[in-house]
Amino acid sequence: MPNPFIRLPKAGALALPLALGLAMGAASPASAKGCEDLAAGRCKVKLPGGITMAYVETGPKDGPAVLLIHGLTDNIRSWSTTMAALHKRDPGLHILAMDLRGHGQTSMPPRAACSPAPEKCFRTSDFAGDIVAFMKAKKIAKATLAGHSLGSFVTQEVALEHPELVERAVLVASSTKGVDNVALRDYVLKEPVEGSWKKALEAKGWKYPAGFYMLTPLKADPKAEDWIAKNWVVDPAADPAFLKPYVPETANVRLGTWIGASKALLATDNTERLKSFSVPVLVLWATQDSIFLEADQTWLKQSLSEAAKTKGIPAYWKRYGVIPLPASGAQVSDIGHNVQWGAPDAVAADIETFIKTGAPTSDLLHSDKPPALDHIVTEPGKAEVIKLGQ
């Protein structure tokens, strides 16, 4: 009897061939040139509000647009393997990934206006305004938006305020709110940002928060990369080779971004607003998400179920992984918060299938050998997929 399980290597092992396939894929005369992936380098566009946004794009410019939006202190790299996999699955899609303001190679909002209270310049509405301006600059009338973590809240904001621009929304590792989120409040903002890093910089004469705005964690702690590698850029489901460049990149994200985006997200609550969500939506969540927990999914399903009933939109919630988050609160043995790092091809398949059919695949992705996480197993037709609003 054939084995019903399909065994896949860890996510990072797919990165090189997928990236090569992306860079070498056949391009029509209308295809994007010059910034197809991270290896080719980023393109940049100056937005009317003053932000210079860095991005990569692949596929024909007249194809259906898909925008990939990363999370807190991340950059385009977060979506790179998924972008390559999605392009391989459907070369006709026009896929774009951008660095959000204050992340990657996109500029910071102005220091004079923002440094006294960075959270006023890193609200989800600020990020969303940049996305809308970017779409206009790129002459994209409508797009599928896929956002991870912070990026999922940006996706929510664009869809809520500009539904005419959003064909459909994919929310990866999301919630209805950041308010009272323990991971963000206690394990990012409280310590180290407003804890040891703040203490070290104040001892050197820098004033919080204005004086911190353009500094990086390395200014506070020359060994900040060690904390980042141990506590922040962590995913046992992802290949270490994929994660390695992330550590120095994250260590060079300005403290204005760390402070501003964390505080702004901790003040965000879309629980009621999402009940009027009016575009088709797919939520992807993994069992060992250590930031947005199972309770967050209950709230998200409740709000989007009401939207599905009142607005008549297709709304789906899909689970990755099978092993619950352990009592330690740390991802150790299954897919976690960074779903697209651990299972990029599966996330690409769900996005593509959602675009084409209005629903995700029914395949279940999970670890096969906890706690080793040597492989991710695919069980066709076994995923928990909930059609909301029924």
The pLDDT profile of the chain, 390 residues, written as one tens digit per residue, is 333 333 344 444 333 333 433 333 333 334 456 799 898 899 999 999 999 999 999 999 999 999 999 999 999 999 999 999 999 999 999 999 999 999 999 999 999 999 999 999 999 999 999 999 999 999 999 999 999 999 999 999 999 999 999 999 999 999 999 999 999 999 999 999 999 999 999 999 999 999 999 999 999 999 999 999 999 999 999 988 999 999 999 999 999 999 999 999 999 999 999 999 999 999 999 999 999 999 999 999 999 999 999 999 999 999 999 999 999 999 999 999 999 999 999 999 999 999 999 999 999 999 986 666 778 899 999 999 999 999
- Check which CATH number belongs to the domain holding 176 and give it: 3.40.50.1820
- 115 part of a folded domain: yes
- 248 part of a folded domain: no
Angle at 348 between CA 60 and CA 73, to 5 degrees: 95
Give the range of the structural domain holding residue 279, as residue numbers without chain letter.
Answer: 6-181+269-387
* pTM of the complete model: 0.92
Among left, alpha and beta (phi > 0; psi -120 to 50; other), residue 323 is: beta
The answer to whether 126 touches 101, Cβ cutoff 8 Å, is yes
- pLDDT in the model for residue 22: 37
Dist CA 265 CA 164 (whole Å) = 25
- pLDDT in the model for residue 140: 99
The answer to whether 304 touches 170, Cβ cutoff 8 Å, is no
- pLDDT in the model for residue 299: 99
- 263 part of a folded domain: no
Q: In Å, what is the CA distance from 382 to each residue of 7, 269, 354, 365, 385?
A: 15, 33, 17, 9, 9
**Number of domains composing the chain:** 1
Beta strands in the chain (DSSP E): 6-9, 43-46, 52-58, 65-69, 94-98, 143-148, 166-172, 281-286, 315-320, 364-367, 375-379, 385-387
- 195 part of a folded domain: no
- pLDDT in the model for residue 375: 81
- 256 part of a folded domain: no
- 251 part of a folded domain: no
Both structure tokens of 92:
């006709």
- 228 part of a folded domain: no
- pLDDT in the model for residue 239: 83
Q: Sign (positive/negative) of CA torsion 99, 350, 280, 298? A: negative
169 forms beta bridges with 145, 281
Nearest to 246 by CA among 260, 225, 264: 225
- 372 part of a folded domain: yes
